[in-house]
Structure 1
């Protein structure tokens, strides 16, 4: 299982990402404000699709939002779909 990492710039923009053999194979682009974490886009390398990488990044992002007491604004189609499919799992962090 690949480790999900977070990189942020000084404006609190960045991504959760996954590497495989030193190459980035998945990315969830985010921005953070005082109270919210906005997810803009999630992408997984086509060769790595179906391995659960998007879900790993989703889980890492939600854990981070909970730790930092942030509400998630799911502008990304994938994240929004997961939030709608599993509302009980994400109710505490979902900013509707």
Structure 2
């Protein structure tokens, strides 16, 4: 997505082979969130990294938002063992339903 001259181009894509969603800024990998398919309809998000050179620009939030939206669209539930993913779900309670009901208390949702 590009908004005009001098605007950063951001892309989030799933890398199936690496079991992660990646965010790129102007064509350069800026971060990722890793998951494990616990079951066909349940992904555990366990680690997120954002390149320190791009921290503070909201890329982590954009990454997690796109990742959870993508799995939700496929009917996949989420176990947010990654603190960043868990914090995102706390800030966006409308998406907390992605966590199975039996696991919500464990994650404080």
Q: Could you state the TM-score of these two structures normalised by the residue count of structure 2?
A: 0.75
User: What is the root-mean-square deviation in Å for CA atoms of aligned residues?
Assistant: 1.6
Counterpart of 1:24? 29
**Structure 2 unpaired stretches of 5+:** 1-8, 104-109
Secondary structure of the structure 2 residue equivalent to 1:92? helix
Partner of 2:16: 8
Aligned to 1:90: 95
Structure with more helix by fraction:
2
TM-score (norm 1): 0.83
Q: Is the 8 A contact 1:83 1:94 kept in 2?
A: no
Runs of 5+ in structure 1 lacking a partner?
none
Count of equivalent residues: 92
After TM superposition, the runs of 4+ consecutive aligned structure 1 residues lying more than 3 A away are: none
